[in-house]
Structure 1
Amino acid sequence: MEILKVVIADDEVRICQLIQALVDWDSLGMKVVGVAHNGEEACETVQNCQPDILITDIRMPGCSGLELVQRVKDADPDLEVVIISGYAHFEYAQQAISYGVGYYLLKPVNKGELTETLQKLQKRIRERKESRQSHQELVNRSRRDDDHLRANLLHRLLDQPEQAVSEEALTGIYHLQVSPGVFQAFCVKADYGRENRGTHTDVLMEKVEEVLERNLKAQGRELVLLTREDYCYGILNYPEKEKEQIRRSLKSSLTQLDIQKNMFQRVSFSIAAGAAYKEACRLGESMQETRKLIQERLVRGNGRLLEHLGQPSDLPESQLLNDYLRKISHAVEIFSIPNGTEAVRELQEAVNHQPGVQGWQILELIYGAADIFAASIQIQSRTEVLDDFRKQCGQCGKAEEIFGCLVDFQEKYLKEQAERYENDTIRPVRKAKEYIQNHYSDPITLEEVSEQVGLSSAYFSVLFKKTEGEGFAKYLINIRMEQAKLLLRETNLPVTEICRKVGYNDLKHFTHTFEKAAGVKPSTYRKLYG
């Protein structure tokens, strides 16, 4: 099996060394072929080594991480990039996503998250290479298998929109009868609701294809359809003068599909139509607009033809997710389902107060929140669990149902965690941790907390260390230091005030303790991450 090549770029030598040491590269079938410490060097290393994966800091001298990503992705769109970012540079990571970066990690780099990300990339790269190889073999072996080739075209437009499809490819590779006119993508979505997943999905989606074929197929038009679960994607090539006729045909299809409610119960349909372009190479754009438009049913309502996406809202996704992270981390710490639900409701309220939010933005925000929760609670088989969660969200036709999915998702795993740890041995420690979370700013002692949970201080001390893997004093220090970091990053409070707020009266002692925990003095930490 081909070894995947990796290049690491970070201006901090120790970070590069840490990444190299954290991962068992051989077991992943990977090899680090280059290390760079500034943007220009990284760009040259990528050009010379031709890696499959680039792991890079978002901020570097010479050529920033963002410039580096843009340059290397322009040269090789298939290059997979993992961004490493501090909290203070979270918005840069989001900008990198617009260049095609799908993965980012927050500093300090965690071994488990890094390994899991690399495993995802390994699978993605292998599947892409196998898919291309299989596709080429299929083309060579069965050029007349038009149905399969056309399905492959839809898969390509959906999964690799950045790779433009030329008119020559449409006719030569995919055997379409291309005519002068316009090219347009569209999508039909069937919604069953959160609790009413249909058992006859295949039959229903066959009916969808029949209706579309009947209404859209005509002389001088080319129609290609592909069904994926509850979605039916399509592309059209037709004379430009028929634009309005196509629109009427799509609306007519929606009306005819609505009749299926009587047979399949509680199913509703929506149709999204992307822009029509004269150039075949812009089919990918039309398809991506269609995929975003179909999510507009979450805010505009289903049962309608969705057109004209418009400009997205300035949704402060990174800030909302940071707020959610703080709240859900506390809920996970004390296994509190009500606190978890409150975190979702506050997220929902913030979205509801943001004007012009589009459906796809809500969906991406919920996916991001689910990723954060799954990481916080350390769910086993996280990838599979999150895939199932996304499928459940895909069954929803309203925004409130999407938020309800997240509430149910949290409740299930918080309940499992609570049941796993809620026994006579663990309960006192959980209560103690909750008490510490609520009183870390006070001069609390081991004896005080022991009394709160009804145990002798000696027994509680042993129980706490056995359960948590660290002593009471160290745990309390860690809680206070994490809160101090948060205040340094997100407030302008003087260090002396932060010292008091996290339970210290002696500034010198606080500074020494913080430097020992964070590796830098409080003032330096604020400069780096604030």
Structure 2
Amino acid sequence: MEKLKVVIVDDEERICQLIQALVKWDEMGMQVAGMAHNGIEACEIVRKVSPDILITDIRMPGCSGLELIEKVKNSCPELEIIVISGYAHFEYAQQAIRFGVGHYLLKPINKAELTEILEKLKKKISQRRESEKNKEELIQRAQKNESHMRSRFILELFDGNFANLQEILSTEMLEENYHIYIKPGLIQAFCLKMDCEENALGDSSVDVLMEKAKEILERNLKDKCLELVMEIRGFYCLGFVNYESRYQDEIRRVLKNALNQIEVQRAIFKQVDFSMSLGSSSREIKDLPHSAEEAQKLIYQRLVKGSGRLLEHMGEESSMQGEKMLDKYLREITHAAETLSLEIADQAVEYLQEKVRGIRNPRGCEIQELVYCAADIFGACIQMPERAAQLEKFRKQCEQCSNIDKLFECLRMFQREHIEKIVESRENERVRPVRKAKEYIQNHYGEPLTLEEVSEEVGLSPNYFSVLFKKTQGEGFARYLINVRIEQAKLLLRETNYPIVEICRKVGYNDLKHFTQTFEKITDVKPSTYRKLYG
């Protein structure tokens, strides 16, 4: 295979030389095709040598790393880019990630990490070239791909597909169906979770962070394990480890150390939190589904214990009595739904939250389920449209809560959002017939209009229409009609030469004397005087 070409860009020459010296380029099947010390020079080198990989600092004079990335990505969209950044300038690296950069290094540059990223890119480029060569063949190969099958097992395991089929799990079955090779020793499931506020990160940033977390786990665990299988699903990294029993304490220590390394991302991105849970260990493969289920429940303990921890052992039984709590919540939220009271709805959430604070040995998974049930009850009380879809959206928001306060705030905002929608909808229903009546008056003010005629036009009884119109407009129907007619009369007096008697008829009056008196009462001048003053 032809050597991959690499271009290195940094405004400090020593950094360029350091990167060149850190890697055995020949052994990796790569060559440094050029070095540059500013973005403008780098653009020219990229144009000339068409490299496969660009390693660039994010802050440079003349043309910044961001500008360089944007330019070269436009001309060479398949160019793989590694960004170098210091903590102080990481907001620029975040922007680079949004441009599609998939890898970053923090100064001081670590040789092992740089080598690992280059190996990944080499594999990625090789796969892409092979794909371009024979796409159909690659698709067929991917279906049988060992990595794909291993990942599929993890997802099925954590989805509970094996919970009732434990007897079918065996070393032979895992080898044959999933290319997973279990050795004698312990087997244990784990779950890594990233929390962040909704829309705080774009999809590409989430993917990069989770991939980075997976890389850190793999780097720490691979030399300690007999088998390691992991898969990313959204904000989760799910997996299990198989290791010699004498290394049980060591594996736990390694996982805690890996979590600490992953938590560095929190210092960079600030709005993210990471937590990890560890299911029980066993020598029996058939116990793996139980370990996975336990890890999934334990990850919710971050709500109680706080994020940034390795969560193990659920502990004593909880004193929580969810049904009793929900009985009172149901009464309060029903009242809130009937009165559309945000205050009462908030009080219902506060009641649940206070009760949860008083629980002995609280379990995060039970609290999460309590909040889900409360949202379901609320949805039923207000007869929420598309209830299933709305509750699914709510659950996804709750999944990103890293503590109990955020979880209950999520419920409070969910209730408020939907109550306000109902209030707005009902307000529109109330205003709609009045708006229609006003349009009808504007089109027919020159006719002998009556309250009964207009109320019939909008489909309401005269009495109800009269009350609704006054409440909405702040004045009665008759006064509003008079004002519309006089405003039209003023317009005709200013802009036309029609005789006043004709203007009187055009605006709906048959009696000139009555029109004149009404006009004068409202404007303080007779129609003829108004024309002299403003016509």
| Interval of TM-score (by shorter of Structure 1 and Structure 2) | 0.5 to 0.7
Partner SS, residue 178 of structure 2? coil
Partner SS, residue 259 of structure 1? helix
1:367-386 pair list within 5 angstroms: 367-386=372-391
Select 1:183's aligned residue among 178, 181, 187: 187
| Residues 214 and 220 of structure 1, relative CA distance in 2, 3 Å threshold | closer
Partner of 1:408: 413
| Match status 1:167 vs 2:167 | no
| Residues 323 and 214 of structure 1, relative CA distance in 2, 3 Å threshold | same
| Residues 387 and 219 of structure 1, relative CA distance in 2, 3 Å threshold | same
**Partners of 2:193 and 2:300 in 1: how far apart?**
9
Partner of 2:303: 298
**Cα offset for 1:377?**
1.3
Partner SS, residue 277 of structure 1? coil
Partner of 2:145: 145
Select 2:271's aligned residue among 262, 266, 274: 266
| Match status 1:208 vs 2:216 | no
Alignment-mate amino acid for residue 164 of structure 2: E
Deviations, residues 336-359 of structure 1 (Å, cap 9, x unaligned): 111111000001111111211111
Partner of 1:192: 196
**Cα offset for 1:193?**
3.6
| Residues 395 and 220 of structure 1, relative CA distance in 2, 3 Å threshold | closer
Partner SS, residue 177 of structure 1? coil
Deviations, residues 66-119 of structure 1 (Å, cap 9, x unaligned): xxxxxxxxxxxxxxxxxxxxxxxxxxxxxxxxxxxxxxxxxxxxxxxxxxxxxx
| Match status 1:420 vs 2:422 | no
**Partners of 2:365 and 2:431 in 1: how far apart?**
42
1:313-328 pair list within 5 angstroms: 313-328=318-333
**Cα offset for 1:144?**
4.2
**Partners of 1:284 and 1:392 in 2: how far apart?**
27
**Cα offset for 1:218?**
2.1
**Cα offset for 1:143?**
7.8
**Cα offset for 1:308?**
1.0
- More displaced, 334-343 or 418-427? 418-427
Report which of the two structures shows the higher radius of gyration computed on alpha carbons.
Answer: 2
Partner SS, residue 360 of structure 2? coil
1:428-467 pair list within 5 angstroms: none
| Match status 1:332 vs 2:334 | no
**Cα offset for 1:231?**
0.9
**Partners of 1:330 and 1:404 in 2: how far apart?**
20
**Partners of 1:313 and 1:241 in 2: how far apart?**
33
Give unpaired runs (5+ residues) of structure 2.
Answer: 1-139, 433-460, 469-535
**Partners of 2:199 and 2:344 in 1: how far apart?**
24
**Partners of 1:315 and 1:198 in 2: how far apart?**
37
| Preserved contact between residue 258 and residue 268 of structure 1 (Cα < 8 Å) | yes
TM-score (norm 1): 0.53
TM-score (norm 2): 0.52
| Match status 1:307 vs 2:315 | no
**Cα offset for 1:388?**
1.1
Deviations, residues 335-389 of structure 1 (Å, cap 9, x unaligned): 1111111000001111111211111111000011111111211222222211111
Partner SS, residue 276 of structure 1? coil
**Partners of 1:141 and 1:197 in 2: how far apart?**
34
**Cα offset for 1:267?**
1.4
| Preserved contact between residue 296 and residue 358 of structure 1 (Cα < 8 Å) | yes
Partner SS, residue 280 of structure 2? strand
**Cα offset for 1:219?**
6.3
Alignment-mate amino acid for residue 368 of structure 2: L
Partner SS, residue 293 of structure 2? helix
Partner of 1:255: 260
- More displaced, 374-383 or 242-251? 374-383
**Cα offset for 1:214?**
0.3
Select 2:286's aligned residue among 278, 281, 290: 281
1:350-365 pair list within 5 angstroms: 350-365=355-370
Partner SS, residue 422 of structure 1? helix
Give unpaired runs (5+ residues) of structure 1.
Answer: 1-139, 428-456, 465-530
**Partners of 1:245 and 1:219 in 2: how far apart?**
8
Partner SS, residue 218 of structure 1? coil
| Preserved contact between residue 191 and residue 397 of structure 1 (Cα < 8 Å) | yes
| Preserved contact between residue 327 and residue 340 of structure 1 (Cα < 8 Å) | yes
| Residues 311 and 198 of structure 1, relative CA distance in 2, 3 Å threshold | farther
Aligned residues between the structures: 296
| Preserved contact between residue 185 and residue 242 of structure 2 (Cα < 8 Å) | yes
**Cα offset for 1:195?**
6.8
**Partners of 1:356 and 1:187 in 2: how far apart?**
22
Partner SS, residue 227 of structure 1? strand
**Cα offset for 1:142?**
7.3
**Cα offset for 1:410?**
0.4
**Partners of 1:219 and 1:303 in 2: how far apart?**
23
| Residues 219 and 309 of structure 1, relative CA distance in 2, 3 Å threshold | closer
Partner SS, residue 310 of structure 1? coil
**Partners of 1:382 and 1:163 in 2: how far apart?**
33
| Residues 355 and 155 of structure 1, relative CA distance in 2, 3 Å threshold | same
Deviations, residues 219-253 of structure 1 (Å, cap 9, x unaligned): 65111111111111111111111101111110110
**Cα offset for 1:265?**
2.6
Alignment-mate amino acid for residue 250 of structure 1: L
Deviations, residues 114-156 of structure 1 (Å, cap 9, x unaligned): xxxxxxxxxxxxxxxxxxxxxxxxxx99784211111221122
Alignment-mate amino acid for residue 162 of structure 1: N
| Preserved contact between residue 224 and residue 251 of structure 2 (Cα < 8 Å) | no
Higher relative contact order (CA 8 A, sep 6+): 1
Partner of 2:231: 226
| Preserved contact between residue 157 and residue 287 of structure 1 (Cα < 8 Å) | yes
